[in-house]
Amino acid sequence: MSMQGLAVANETGVERKTLVEVEGLRRVFDLSKPWLNRMIEREGRVFLTAVDGVDFSIRQGETYALVGESGSGKSTIAKMAVGLLPPSAGSIAIDGADVWGKKSPEAERRMRRKIQMIFQDPFASLNPRWRVGSIIAEPIKAFGLIDDPLDRAARVGELLSLVGLDPRDGQKFPHEFSGGQRQRIAIARALASEPNFIVCDEPTSALDVSVQAQVLNLLRDLQERLGLTYLFISHNLAVVRHVATRVGVLYLGRLVEEAPARELFAAPQHPYTKMLLEAVPDIEMEGKDRQSIAGEIPNPITPPAGCHFHPRCPVRRPECDVETPPPHRVGDATVRCHLFGSAS
């Protein structure tokens, strides 16, 4: 893959308008024990900063991937983006409307209709007591899109075919389907309210490889056909590489690197991104040894001072222990690392 090829691909990309705008997003969880326990055990309050000042934006029709390991805050961001969890600070705007801002019930409904989510576990995301048809019809009913029961049933059948299932499958219960088929049902439900922004929270990590490919291809196909915009949450870099237009790498609640996908995979900048890429198993068997990475992710309740990554960083500097690195522009990437501070 030549660098020229990359540049051309970037240039030819049509300039699209920004659909999702996330600014200064922050979420703190209060993990303190009840008041009485704190008094008796003489413990202070305990806070966990799951998301710490995250900014990014997603353009219409693109896929923005958030990558991170456990404790990185990626799922918390997903929940805030769809309106399931209020942020402690910062804002998320979708098509100009603040997800968490005060608005009329009508505007609220209009906004919710445009945001949907696909969950990780297809075995938990479908109500086991409901028929598949009712599950998919629920958003249509809730948003009052189609009132006639017959038309609604027809629409459900249409959605089922859209995700590659038989329209007659609506009569069945979720337990009659395999994991991959259930994820298709979940996708059909997400599409039922005709959204333009879908948050995919690890949509394939519970699936087998051969099924994972089906679901990833389906998501991509739907994006092209319906012009969807995705926020794609994953810990699997190889998967992200196949779906993302832009990638943000999270470490303990902070966005350490953000870049167009091609650039990030061709030339990772942040030491943590490099480390993650090296940790991907070598399926091609080129004989490269997986780089053994020192240490584990620290407890997110008491993250290291300065750059959170400094205790594991192979190229740390004295200032890394004390100062939180500001974002630096490196080519098309934004990197939060002191290494690039002196260069700029």
Q: Which of 39, 46, 124, 154 binds other proteins (CB under 8 A)?
A: 124
Q: Which helix (H) or strand (E) holds 251?
A: strand 246-251
Q: Which pair of tokens denotes residue 194?
A: 């005709």
Q: Which pair of tokens denotes residue 221?
A: 């196909």
- Should residue 180 be labelled a site residue for other proteins when binding is judged by CB under 8 A? yes
CA distance linking residue 215 with residue 178, whole number of Å? 13
Q: Which pair of tokens denotes residue 282?
A: 């070598």
Residues 60-99, one symbol each (x = binds other proteins by CB under 8 A, - = not), give ---------xx--------x--xxx---------------
- Should residue 106 be labelled a site residue for other proteins when binding is judged by CB under 8 A? no
- Should residue 320 be labelled a site residue for other proteins when binding is judged by CB under 8 A? no
100 or 143: whose CB is closer to other proteins?
A: 143
Q: Which of 16, 112, 155, 274 binds other proteins (CB under 8 A)?
A: 112
Counting every residue written for the chain, the total comes to 344
Residue type present at position 105: P
- Should residue 36 be labelled a site residue for other proteins when binding is judged by CB under 8 A? no
Phi, psi of 225 (to 5 degrees): -70, -35
| Shortest separation between residue 344's beta carbon and other proteins, angstroms | 28
| DSSP state at residue 69 | -
Contact between 106 and 135 (Cβ < 8 Å):
no
Report the helix count and the strand count for the chain, using DSSP H and E: 11, 12
Residues 277-316, one symbol each (x = binds other proteins by CB under 8 A, - = not), give x-xxxxxxx----xxxx--xx-------------------
- Should residue 153 be labelled a site residue for other proteins when binding is judged by CB under 8 A? no
Q: Which of 54, 222, 233, 261 binds other proteins (CB under 8 A)?
A: 261
CA distance linking residue 192 with residue 139, whole number of Å? 6
- Should residue 116 be labelled a site residue for other proteins when binding is judged by CB under 8 A? yes
| DSSP state at residue 94 | E
Q: Burial, 5: exposed, middle or buried (Cβ in 10 Å; 0-12, 13-18, 19+)? A: exposed
Contact between 99 and 111 (Cβ < 8 Å):
yes
# binding residues, other proteins (CB under 8 A): 69
- For residue 196, CA distances in Å to 62, 74, 192 come to 11, 21, 11
CA distance linking residue 267 with residue 286, whole number of Å? 19
| DSSP state at residue 310 | G
89 or 279: whose CB is closer to other proteins?
A: 279
181 or 334: whose CB is closer to other proteins?
A: 181
Residue list 188-217, contact with other proteins (CB under 8 A): 189, 193, 208-214, 216-217
- Should residue 178 be labelled a site residue for other proteins when binding is judged by CB under 8 A? yes
279 or 305: whose CB is closer to other proteins?
A: 279
Contact between 239 and 265 (Cβ < 8 Å):
no
84 or 315: whose CB is closer to other proteins?
A: 84
Which span sits near other proteins by CB under 8 A: 10-18, 23-31, 225-233, 261-269?
261-269
- Should residue 8 be labelled a site residue for other proteins when binding is judged by CB under 8 A? no
Q: Residues in the site for other proteins, rule: CB under 8 A?
A: 69-70, 79, 82-84, 108-109, 112, 115-117, 119-121, 124-129, 138-139, 142-143, 178-181, 186, 189, 193, 208-214, 216-217, 220-221, 235-239, 241-242, 261-262, 265, 275-277, 279-285, 290-293, 296-297
